[in-house]
Structure 1
Amino acid sequence: MAEEMRTSTRDLRALHDRVAAWLACRTGGPVEVSELSRPSANGMSSETLFFTASWAGRRVRCVARLAPAAEAVPVFPRYDLEAQFEVMRLARERAGVPAPRALWFEPDPGPLGTPFFVMEREDGDVPPDVMPYTFEGWLLDAPPERRRELQDASVGLLAALHDAPFTREELSVLSRPGPQPSHDGNGGPRAHPSYGGGGGLRAHVDAQHAYYAWAHGDRPIPLLERAFGWLEAHWPDDPGPDVLTWGDARIGNVMYRDFRPVAVLDWEMAAVGPRELDLAWMIFLHRFFQDLTEAMGLPGLPDFMRRDDVCRTYQDLTGHPPANLDFHLTYAALRHGVIMARVWRRRIHFGEQAMPDDPDDLVLHRTTLERMIED
């Protein structure tokens, strides 16, 4: 887990002058740009650049998000940076969620070779993925009451986002076509979900299945295919109303100061769907790290992000009793399996890992997912 994964093929020195030239056009005058750098702990999909820009007496600490280069074997087939930019703005302005302040979106790939956006950089602590926060670090060392404070505040982010009254027009940026099935399985066209109408779960699972086919169609993963079958056999009678979901709702995508959220990051998986998509993802992603920790003989954080505690806090904040959690937790494990298997295949491509004999071993939490669909 401690080994650094390769996440970019772009040269920072070559990008520096191009960033400065682009900013000069945006600001209308000369701009001084610091040396570019990348984060070291979290993030394996979009490419992230850190820099400080100074112009006309202003000094702004910036973060740029770029779609990965094709030769970097991207984790996802499509990177809609405009949608991320707009959803961050809406979350901040309409829901009061502390998403970073969105500064500029550049749709033209000319300046840096790909579309990108720039946001303000915040200061704070992020629970790391490598090494996981359940192994070591400030959150593990914190008193239990401070960890509970962080947990409740993190669930509060979901409550605020899900309860915000977005309109269909505001969320239309998430309706642009991505990799999805072109028909409904019976030969007819797939109906597009409408915000608030409850059709978001069907569209979400269909899009996830299309992503699986894109990522692993050349070498199917039987466990993930069985899990997709499990979803269909256990489909909820009432998936619930649709809301704006963050998508990658986990504490590793939140920056904290004094155990309170100050920046909510990584909106590339945002979608319209039931509230439980985010709740189950938050619960399961902690379980994923906790299982890894216990497998290494360490205690981790067994009392953190427990299902009942998270659901109780969420219901207290919103009045909505979370439903269909067994389904959504299994779906979260499946979604994470598709992504992690793609990440491991990137490592194989770059010579960092060997291809396993059993493709199910590409799913790092194989045992957990097997138990979920068998039980």
Structure 2
Amino acid sequence: MTLQLSADAVAPKAATPQKYLFGPVADFLMLGGSAFLILPVLFLVPLEYEGPVAATMVFVAYLVNYPHFAHSYQLFYRNFGRKVSGDGYDRSLQLRYIFAGIVVPLVMVGFFAYGAAAANTRLLGYATNAMFFFVGWHYVKQGYGMLMVDAVLKRKFFDDRDKKVLLVNSYAVWILAWLQTNTAVTQGKYYGLDYYTFAAPSWITDTALLAALASTVATLLMLVNRWRKNGGGLPYNGLVAYVASLYLWILIARINPLWLLIVPALHSLQYLAVVWRYQTNVERDSSDAESDPQPKVLSFLGPLYRFRLLGFIVGGTALGYLGFWLIPSALTALIPYDRQVLGSSLFFFIVLIFINVHHYFLDNVMWRRGNPEVSKYLFR
């Protein structure tokens, strides 16, 4: 989620903003606070229990990852014809929807089709490194976006200079983390296919480290100054999200193998907090939102808008299962390819990278200043 919002992106002044997405404790845990509670515990897991713990974490990660990715498609392609025609959207946003929704997937399909047909494992392997590049970028921008959301909800705003400091620090930490995985040409395995890192010169990594340290110090100083200007207040849940995204989920993600497994789930949970709040407001905007669902046996679910929200979540889970398992399984069974060269999991490899990279481009369009739907529904 690449939220690029400020005070001028909130709902009309007549609307009363919510102080929290769901509540102080829920926001803390969902936006990133759970990371600070879970990480220390992982170092206390006895060696003989690491296997079951890892299996549980993988299951949980998929449980929240499926709807996390699927929700972005549900929101992005909803009323897509109106978006690409510019009906209610300015020219810049219209072009972004066309690029992310049509051009990017076509280019990626062409890339993977050529790589698979040519059995070019090196070319396909570089896609894995590209995925790590975009995923890291996506994580830090989402952390920044969560801070901006919480700042609007709490009415503890950052000025343009503050935002530049936060963004520079986000990019500096992200680049450092990515370079740390590319300090030498190495080869690894991802879904049965080899992928390769680059030999980044040590001086570049050292420079990135200095830049990350300097930007972190500048961010701390800025936050102290902003705290004073705000009369001793900051959007603390947003800051937790920002710190967790940059430092715990990106910079030190490899500190513990178990931690590496749980980070995607925590990132997805952070995303779901905003999407579920957003969709709740969408459903409550309908004229019959407070009526009982039909048939009457479903009335225990509460008002109709809650029933529709549940349908959105269930639909996202089903769509995620379709995308991550059923589609690649069907492609594997129906499309012949050189399994000796490309392995038995080629389409799982392709689908996973496709969705991760495309997800970045989708969010970069949806959650930005000037999107009328975000302005209308996120801060109600």
Q: TM-score range by the shorter chain?
A: under 0.3
Could you tell me the TM-score, scaled by structure 2's length?
Answer: 0.24
More helix by share: 2
Higher relative contact order (CA 8 A, sep 6+): 2
Could you tell me the TM-score, scaled by structure 1's length?
Answer: 0.25
